[in-house]
Amino acid sequence: MDYFGYKQGKLYAENVAVAKIAEAVGTPVYIYSKATFLGHFNRLKEAFSGLDTLICYSIKACSNIHILKVLAEAGSGFDIVSGGELFRARQTGIDTAKIVYAGVGKTDKEIIEALNAPIGYFNIESEAELENLITISRNLGKNPKAALRVNPDVDPRTHTYTTTGKKESKFGVDIERARHVFNKYGKNGTVQLCAVHVHLGSAGKSVQPYAEALQKTVKLIDELRADGFTIEAIDMGGGYGADYETSTAPSASDYAGVIVPLIKDKGLKLILEPGASIAANSAILLTQVLYLKQGGKKKFVIVDAGMNDLIRPPLYDAFHFIWPAQVDPSLVPPKKFRHLNPEGCEQVDIVGPICEGADFFAKERPLPAVKRGDLISIFTAGAYGYTMSSNYNGRPLLPEVLVDGDQFSVIRRRQTYEDLIAHEK
Ligand SMILES: *Cc1c(COP(=O)(O)O)cnc(C)c1O
């Protein structure tokens, strides 16, 4: 589900032709669809409405404060991983009790900021961190709530870099050790250890790992309760699949179908931390063809966006559907699909201007013929797109545009050259 589509061969974001946005703000540019963000959020909310559920959108996926505001108004809480993200979350005016905080390396400064907010739950990643949280809370006279992040040793079968729920990962504590941690710290009198957190990693294509992890976690919660601990919430993390290709990810109701029955009679509040499943196909990265070039047998399409603007293809070996923003109506793609290859396409490498071999968006990809000046859309760029961008090669960060129906607004302006050196003066 998303609101990017072709009308008479021209690509639209909701009811705005993307070419019109390029004309107004230039390229490259990130273009977001408000209706897509809200559509994903509301489907998830609907699917889990049978439970006491708090959806905490994961800020690191896509963090523009105008987008956070849209989600906060729809009822979302936030999953943060740093003090900077806490600061962003607070720009929305949200009730800070709807914020959960994960991360293996929280600094004292960040912990104090979160205690003072005060946030809803600290997601504890190690015994050393819990000890530190207890000390700081005691000194400040605070009694925060915390969830122990457990590592259920389940493989979401995704890229190694986005796998976090296996034993060998740096996140959480091994599930067999969780009871020991509760026995040691569960009655410390300062930090209320009253929830369990699991996050398997990103880009799961199947609901099966969730069912597996949840069964293990619910069993743990039963044991902890039998040991005399009060467990009020289970946080199932994020990592729900997103449609990088049309209709390939499980839907919100597919996830609810396995999660809800396992916890509905447990008297547990459910927390979800979706990032990519909400943000990924809520944006495109619109870029312009600079040059065409032949190199040996290869044909290169050199565009004005680079890996500093969207690093997912080299970093995660990620697939992004890519298509010109204006095509002959016979070449309008019926869906986003890896093997789409209608007649009239050429096999090309789509690359950026950065001085790195890793600067590519696609290799040996069928693309309708393009020429210098044509606009090309890199789809499903909303998650870990802008938030991972950098100034590498002296390139100003891109503008972000939010489309709402037939209107669009610049929610972050393009950086200038002056911005590049502002902190060096
Ligand atoms: C990154 C992250 C998420 C969001 O993951 P997605 O794959 O974007 O859904 C949720 N929870 C935690 C703890 C994370 O680190």
pLDDT for the residue numbered 164:
63
182, 223 Cβ separation under 8 angstroms = no
Q: Are 235 and 195 in contact (CB under 8 A)?
A: yes
Regarding the beta carbon of 212 and ligand 1, being less than 6 Å apart is answered no
Residue among 342, 309, 261 nearest 412 (CA): 309
Residue 88 contacts residue 61 (beta carbons within 8 Å): no
Digit-coded pLDDT (tens) for 181-232: 999 999 999 999 999 999 988 656 889 888 999 999 999 999 999 999 999 9
Q: Is 156 in the pocket of ligand 1 (CB under 6 A)?
A: no
Mean pLDDT value across the chain: 95
CA of 348 to the centre of ligand 1 (A): 33
pLDDT at 318 over 70: yes
What pLDDT is recorded for position 158?
59
When pLDDT is cut at 50, 70 and 90, the band that residue 159 belongs to is: low
> How much distance in Å is there from the Cα of 124 to the middle of ligand 1?
15
Task: Tell me if 350 sits within 8 A of 360, measured CB to CB.
Answer: yes
Domain boundaries, the chain: 4-32+280-424, 34-278
Verify whether ligand 1 is closer than 6 Å to residue 242 (CB atom). Answer: no
CA of 60 to the centre of ligand 1 (A): 8
- pLDDT value of position 203: 54
pLDDT at 154: 85
How many Cβ atoms from other residues are within 10 Å of residue 418's Cβ?
A: 9
What's the CA gap between 214 and 235, in Å, rounded?
10
Which of 174, 191, 196, 171 is closest to 131 using CA atoms?
A: 191
**Closest ligand 1 atom to 203 CA:** 7
Q: Does domain 4-32+280-424 have CATH number 3.40.140.10?
A: no
Question: Who contacts 302 (Cβ-Cβ below 8 Å, separation ≥6)?
Answer: 289, 290, 291, 292, 293, 351, 352, 353
Ligand 1 centre from 145 Cα, in Å? 20
Predicted TM-score (pTM) of the model is 0.96
34-278: CATH class: alpha beta
Q: Is 120 in the pocket of ligand 1 (CB under 6 A)?
A: no
The residues assigned a catalytic role are 355
Count CA atoms within 13 Å of residue 377 on its CB side.
Answer: 30
Residue with tokens 């911005």: 419
pLDDT, position 270: 98
Two tokens at 371? 């020429």
Taking only the tens place, the pLDDT of each residue in 90-142 is: 999 999 999 999 999 999 999 999 999 999 999 999 999 999 999 999 999 99
